[in-house]
Amino acid sequence: MSDSSRETPFRLLFSASVLAMALVFVSGRLSADIELPPPATEGGMGLFEALKKRSSAHGGDFSVAEVGLPELSTVLWAASGLNRGETGWTVPMAEGLPPYVKIYVASAEGVHLYDHRAHRLIEISGENVKAGIASQAFVKKASHILIFVADPVGLAKLSNKDAATEFADVLTGAMTQNVYLAAAALRLGARYSHSMRIPEIKKGLKLEDDLERPVALMMLGK
């Protein structure tokens, strides 16, 4: 066997490894979605104790400590996850529809959209937008910021179109109260905020439809 024919299998192996690494790199970038671990659905603090503890964390309470993925998973599930088969949710929805308010998550890792049904985070961008989306200085210190956005696609399914704005606001109220209670049970800091920089949010979240209306923010910290 000549030297060149002996080298061929090694060259092929080398080329295949390089190709595999390139594919992992490319697919890693393309799939920066986040699989959430299962939420906590039993044990933990009782509801009445969580109600006693529910409060808004003060700006100074948002430390640089990261809220972990298991905690984020539980908070998002509490906000609007499936709790009974394929049509039962942790919050009530008009006409039994699926969630018509979207929850975006801004963190140091970027911006993600919560997929209520699949319970995963879909990457919108890798940009850290926390500093720009609100004027209050403490907001950017929060580990994660949940941004509640009225979803025109979901709201279009309502037969009562005139009530769309009101229903999206009511749903945001239910979702954010569940976030407060889950945060209390997990001993996380949480704060609702209406102070938002709408143009920065629209840009950071890539909201293109004017009817995609940011309703509220919730900061989470540890």
Ligand X SMILES: Cc1cc2nc3c(=O)[nH]c(=O)nc-3n(C[C@H](O)[C@H](O)[C@H](O)COP(=O)(O)O)c2cc1C
Give the DSSP letter string of 105-132.
Answer: EEETTEEEEEETTTTEEEEEES---TTT
Residue 178 binds to ligand X (criterion: CB under 6 A): no
How many chain residues are in contact with ligand X, going by CB under 6 A? 8
Determine which residue in the list 193, 204, 205, 222 makes contact with ligand X, applying CB under 6 A.
193
Residue 6 binds ligand X, judged by CB under 6 A: no
> Residue 147 CB, nearest distance to ligand X (Å)?
13
Does 174 help bind ligand X (rule: CB under 6 A)?
no
Stretch that binds ligand X, among 121-129, 148-156, 193-201, 205-213 (CB under 6 A): 193-201
Among 112, 191, 202, 213, binds ligand X (CB under 6 A): 191
- Which tokens belong to 179? 């976030």
**Which strand (E) or helix (H) includes residue 207?**
none
Write the burial class of residue 42 (CB in 10 Å: 0-12 exposed, 13-18 middle, 19+ buried): exposed
User: From the list 17, 55, 83, 165, which residue makes contact with ligand X (rule: CB under 6 A)?
Assistant: 55
**Cross-strand bridge partners of residue 91:** none
**Contact region for ligand X (CB under 6 A) — 8-16, 78-86, 155-163, 190-198?**
190-198
Token representation of residue 43: 């044990």
* Contact window for ligand X (CB under 6 A) among 66-74, 94-102, 103-111, 188-196: 188-196
What is the nearest approach in angstroms of ligand X to the Cβ of residue 156?
Answer: 26
Place of tokens 């908070």: 75
Distant-in-sequence contacts of 38-41, Cβ < 8 A, 24+ apart: 38/73, 38/119, 39/73, 39/74, 39/76, 39/77, 39/78, 39/81, 39/119, 40/70, 40/74, 40/186, 41/77, 41/83
Return the residue of 33, 98, 192, 197 that touches ligand X, per CB under 6 A.
192
Which span (79-87, 95-103, 160-168, 185-193) binds ligand X, by CB under 6 A? 185-193
Could you list the residues that contact ligand X (CB under 6 A)? 55-56, 136, 191-195
